[in-house]
Amino acid sequence: MKTIKKYGLVYLKGMAMGAADIVPGVSGGSIALIAGIYQKLLDSINSFNLETLKLIPQVRLKEFYKAVNGTFLLSLLLGILTSIFALSKVITFLMNEHPIPLWSFFCGLILVSAFLILRDIKRWHLGVVLAVVIGTAIAWWVTNLPPTTSPDAKWFIFVAGAIAICAMILPGISGSFILLILGKYETILKAVSDKDIFTLALFASGCVVGILSFSRVVSFLLRKFHSATIGLLSGFMLGSVNELWPWKIVTAWRTSSSGEQKPFLTENILPTDYLAQVGQQPQLLSAVLAFAFGIGLVLFIEWLASKLQES
């Protein structure tokens, strides 16, 4: 019963990660850190090494499954996939029809999570403070980068996959946003819709190489410089609020692979200027309520997790 409860909770955390990954600008890594499974996820990814992979041709599949923490990864992956397939339309609808409450919700969720994570740092020193500041500055800078023109060569698809997947496991930095910056967001979407197996295989290969390499770097930093690394990751989350800010004006548009006009460049504005510049109500009440709900949800999850651990 405890095992079912344990991995059922992992499944729900996977659903939360999947829901976050649907939203450009929100990182599944943030949710993993909030949910308390970030280190375990890194360790599970790192368990894919030459020693464990040798078990596959030896048909020692049960040992391989156990070595890579298969039940945890499978539960998490099922949750992510469930969320992507079940909630993608809902979240897309909210992004299109109710963007201000949605972004406000994520702002509240990310901000309170960052502060809760920082609260767990046992020993504060100058290095930790600098890490928080640097992390915030990097995320703020990244979210202000304009999309660029990238090489059309196939090798860059591999590179884009490796870079984007690294961003996906970093709290506060969205992999889809990185793809947009690299100029490959539409390319990958088109490859999916066209079932371009070669392009998708190149991209997936880059993702595999990127995540296996980068997860080891993050794990090393967490082992050797735990407090400073947590500070850096929390800084990434704080800096990502720049991308999650609910009130924006579109300064440039792009044509998607389906021929639709979509925002290309945006600029944050104050809610007091929103009506004058956009011609729509700033929805302050719904924004505040959604912001509070995001905070309350994180606090509830933290309380629930502590209760489940006690039981």
Nearest to 120 by CA among 34, 247, 242, 31: 34
Give residue 117's pLDDT. 83
* Cα 45 from Cα 226, distance rounded (Å): 19
Give residue 308's pLDDT. 59
Q: Is the pLDDT of residue 287 over 90?
A: yes
Domain with 52 in it: 2-310
Q: Which of 245-254, 272-281, 285-294 has the highest mean pLDDT?
A: 285-294
* Cα 201 from Cα 80, distance rounded (Å): 20
pTM of the predicted model as reported, rounded to 2 decimal places: 0.77
Nearest to 114 by CA among 22, 41, 31, 20: 31
Domain count, the chain: 1
Q: Where are the alpha helices (DSSP H) in the chain?
A: 2-22, 28-34, 38-46, 50-53, 61-67, 70-97, 99-119, 126-143, 154-168, 175-181, 185-194, 197-224, 226-239, 241-244, 271-278, 284-310
Mean pLDDT, residues 175-182 taken together: 75
Q: Is the pLDDT of residue 206 over 80?
A: yes
Q: Is the pLDDT of residue 209 over 70?
A: yes
Question: What digits encode the pLDDT tens for the residues 214-240?
Answer: 888 888 988 899 899 889 988 988 988
Q: Is the pLDDT of residue 186 over 80?
A: no
* Cα 192 from Cα 97, distance rounded (Å): 25
Q: Is the pLDDT of residue 200 over 80?
A: yes
